[in-house]
């Protein structure tokens, strides 16, 4: 089926991150069941890893929730755009469709809708298989992670910083990348010195977002969405 | 398990972990259908708000990673700068593997 053909290369790119997430989650102290619970309820790799990072440094609950919400806020744009293409979906199918809405699925759905009618069969096949794959990858990673005695010797504590660095660099072609990332970098380091964690995340992030709001729009939403296709289940 | 000691060290109880899991999942679902609700109420998202939304991932993730430059030891600082350069060319998963291997290698050598 067309959905499966479109999904396979994406799965190869995304599943390693599910494995990384699972391994890091058990090293941070989650049980396998808890690690899979986060994958089941959130289903968004970057925010799951960010939540782990913040819980690991003892951040308060509200700051973990705020960070997850902020990182996933881009989905508001996706669902706004996608809602134009869901004409043939029933109410429950729409509810499920939005629950499964991750970056690659958004890209695939928009690409499909550009050439023909987006059917529930195509969208939900892609989405459900991706969801199942993410849970299995989490399970594999968590089972593997439990076997490791000394995670620091394997550099596992460095996985999260380098993962976020790589993700950030993936955004560098966006219009406001350098002013936004530069501002967040400087403010984060300064706040980290002055107030310590977890404040650097909230204040550094807000500073960068404020810069983008002040400078204003540079690029159209659908161009950014096309770039996000390459970003995996971030 | 050593892991459970880690989270209880930082004040995270079993109950709060499950609460965060469910609340974070609910908030994420809110963002996933929120745009659909917004668009049916407003018709469109204001351009300035859209620019701010666009900037959220880069801003928040930069803020998460930045302290490695000042809080880590030298192997971590060097590795993060090398990975910054590598990420201009290589796919994300390759950069993660190389960066992690560099830090593991430096520790094995006792640097």
How close, in Å, is residue B95 to chain A by CA atoms? 7
Which pLDDT does position B89 carry in this prediction?
A: 93
- Model confidence at A225, pLDDT cuts 50, 70, 90, reads low
Cα–Cα nearest to A135, from A46, A33, A2: A33
A57 touching B, CB under 8 A?
yes
Write down the domain spans for chain A: 2-154
A1 touching B, CB under 8 A?
no
What are the chain A neighbours of B87 within 8 Å (beta carbons)?
A: 165-166, 169-170
Q: B5 or A134: whose pLDDT is higher?
A: A134
Which pLDDT does position A230 carry in this prediction?
A: 45
Say what percent of chain A tops pLDDT 90.
Answer: 47
How far, in Å, CA of B14 to CA of A127, rounded? 30
Task: Render pLDDT for B92-111 as a digit per residue (tens, 0 to 9).
Answer: 889 989 999 999 999 999 87
Is the bond preceding residue A54 a cis peptide, omega within 30 degrees?
Answer: no
| Whether pLDDT at B51 is above 90 | no
A100, A137, A213 from A36: Cα distances, Å: 16, 9, 36
Write down the domain spans for chain B: 1-44, 47-111
What is the average per-residue pLDDT within A22-40? 94
What is the average per-residue pLDDT within A213-221? 74
| Whether pLDDT at A219 is above 60 | no
A164, A174, A199, B23 from B58: Cα distances, Å: 9, 10, 17, 23
How far, in Å, CA of A85 to CA of A50, rounded? 31
How far, in Å, CA of B33 to CA of A76, rounded? 7
- Model confidence at A231, pLDDT cuts 50, 70, 90, reads very low
Contact A203, A70 (CB under 8 A): no
Interface mutation vs chain A, best among B5, B31, B105, most A CBs within 10 Å: B31
What's A85's DSSP letter?
A: G
Q: Tell me whether residues B93 and A17 touch, CB distance under 8 A.
A: yes
A50 touching B, CB under 8 A?
yes
Q: Alpha helix locations (H) across A83-228?
A: 91-99, 103-115, 120-145, 159-170, 177-194, 199-215, 221-228
Which pLDDT does position A211 carry in this prediction?
A: 95
Which pLDDT does position B1 carry in this prediction?
A: 40
Contact A219, A77 (CB under 8 A): no
Provide the chain B residues 7-66 that lie in CB contact (below 8 A) with chain A.
7-12, 16-36, 38-40, 45, 47-66
ipTM of the complex: 0.79
Q: Tell me whether residues A34 and B58 touch, CB distance under 8 A.
A: no
B85 touching A, CB under 8 A?
no
Q: Quote the pTM value.
A: 0.76
What are the chain A neighbours of B89 within 8 Å (beta carbons)?
A: none
How close, in Å, is residue A19 to chain B by CA atoms? 11
């Amino acid at each position: 089926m067309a959905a499966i053909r479109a999904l396979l290369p994406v799965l190869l790119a995304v599943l390693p991150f599910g494995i990384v997430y699972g391994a890091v989650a058990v090293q941070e102290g989650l049980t396998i069941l808890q690690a899979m619970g986060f994958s089941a309820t959130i289903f968004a790799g970057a925010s799951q890893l960010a939540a782990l990072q913040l819980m690991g440094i003892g951040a308060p609950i509200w700051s973990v929730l705020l960070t997850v919400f902020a990182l996933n806020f881009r989905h508001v744009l996706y669902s706004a755009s996608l809602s134009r293409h869901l004409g043939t979906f029933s109410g429950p199918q729409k509810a499920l469709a939005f629950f499964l809405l991750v970056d690659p699925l958004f890209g695939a759905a928009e690409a499909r809708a550009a050439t023909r009618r987006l059917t529930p069969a195509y969208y939900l096949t892609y989405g459900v298989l991706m969801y199942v794959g993410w849970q299995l990858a989490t399970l594999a990673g968590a089972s593997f992670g439990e076997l490791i005695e000394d995670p620091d010797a394997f550099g596992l504590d460095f996985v999260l910083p380098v993962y976020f660095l790589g993700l950030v660099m993936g955004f560098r072609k966006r219009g406001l990348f350098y002013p936004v990332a530069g501002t967040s970098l400087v403010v984060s380091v300064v706040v980290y010195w002055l107030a310590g964690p977890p404040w650097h995340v909230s204040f550094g992030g807000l500073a960068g977002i404020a810069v983008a709001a002040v400078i204003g729009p540079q690029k159209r939403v659908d161009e950014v969405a096309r770039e996000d296709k390459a970003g995996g289940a971030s | 398990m050593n892991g459970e000691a880690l989270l209880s060290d930082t004040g995270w109880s079993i109950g709060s972990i499950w609460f965060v899991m469910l609340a974070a999942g609910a908030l994420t679902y809110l963002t996933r259908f929120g745009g659909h609700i917004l668009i049916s109420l407003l018709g469109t998202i204001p351009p300035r708000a859209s620019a701010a939304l666009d900037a959220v991932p880069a801003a928040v993730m930069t803020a998460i990673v930045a302290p490695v430059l000042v809080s880590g030891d030298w192997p971590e600082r060097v590795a993060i700068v090398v990975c910054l350069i590598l990420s201009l060319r290589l796919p994300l998963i390759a950069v993660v593997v190389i960066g992690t291997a560099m830090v593991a290698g430096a520790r094995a050598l006792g640097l």
